[in-house]
Structure 1
Amino acid sequence: MDYIHLNELEFYGYHGALQEETKLGQRFRVTVSLATDLQDAGSTDDLDKTVNYAEVYNLCRAIVEGEPVKLIETVAENIATDILRTFPEKVLGVRVVLIKPDPPIAGHYASVSVEITRGRFA
């Protein structure tokens, strides 16, 4: 299995369970790993044989910057579902790490995140 990784995409969204989060918004970071077969793309140098990561970026952006939801779990699930739906012949699985660098909780920490894996595994 081969992988395409899009690392630490950063967007501004309005997701969260607290009213301040949906009103003020905050940064979100997304890392996406796509399980795919890159052999044909690598041997032919043909973009049509791979997953266009610019399209994946735009999909992630539309979801994170789009309609607010309460949970980052939902944002991650929506990203995974849309990727699998958009690239049914090319993406066998997807791993999404969604990071909330500045959640409104007291304390010292780098961030909070969720990680999900979804796919069409045999």
Structure 2
Amino acid sequence: MNSFGDRDRIILAGLAFYGYHGVMMEENNLGQRFRIDLELGLDMDAAALTDDVAQTISYADIYDLVKLAFEEKRFKLIEALGHHIIMRLFGTFEQLDWIRIRVRKPEAPLPIVVGEAAIEMVRTRAQVNG
């Protein structure tokens, strides 16, 4: 159980993107696949009671913003990429209380046969607003 317990969340898992993030020259020139998993914490009571999409955040709007944030700038570190996506999400969707993001590089330039490199970050709105 995480520190957010049983709080409401929107989950988008396995979002796939192709990008040019990385430290190695090959990563910047050739690019590679990335996978992003998100948990977005918000109060869903109004949406649950009204069955009104205006009372929540559209999955499509979340995906569109993540895609934009992923593509608008190149990063050396997936930590910086994850932070950038978090900041864009908090800046766009006022309903969000917390975000958990995992950025995975299934083709990281490592001598492994199976597996992937990944980071996971958890931020609350209070943390990013100082």
Is TM more than 0.5 here?
Answer: yes
Match of 1:9 in 2: 15
Name the aligned partner's letter for residue 36 of structure 2.
V
**Aligned alpha-carbon RMSD (Å):** 1.4
User: What runs of 5+ residues in structure 1 fail to find an aligned partner?
Assistant: none
Match of 1:50 in 2: 56
Percent identical among aligned pairs is 36
Aligned-residue offset at 1:58: 0.9
SS in 2 for 1:29: strand
Aligned-residue offset at 1:57: 0.4
Are residues 1:98 and 2:79 paired? no
Within 5 A, what are the aligned runs for 1:19-98? 19-88=25-94, 90-98=95-103
Match of 2:114 in 1: 109
| Distance in 1, Cα, partners of 2:72 & 2:114 | 27
Q: TM-score normalized by structure 2? A: 0.88
Q: Deviations over 1:48-79 (max 9, x none)?
A: 11011111101111122332110000110011
| Distance in 2, Cα, partners of 1:75 & 1:49 | 29
Aligned residues: 121
| Distance in 2, Cα, partners of 1:63 & 1:25 | 16
Q: TM-score normalized by structure 1? A: 0.93
Contact residue 4 and residue 34 of structure 1 kept, 8 A: yes
Aligned-residue offset at 1:121: 5.3
- More displaced, 46-55 or 62-71? 62-71
Contact residue 3 and residue 34 of structure 1 kept, 8 A: yes
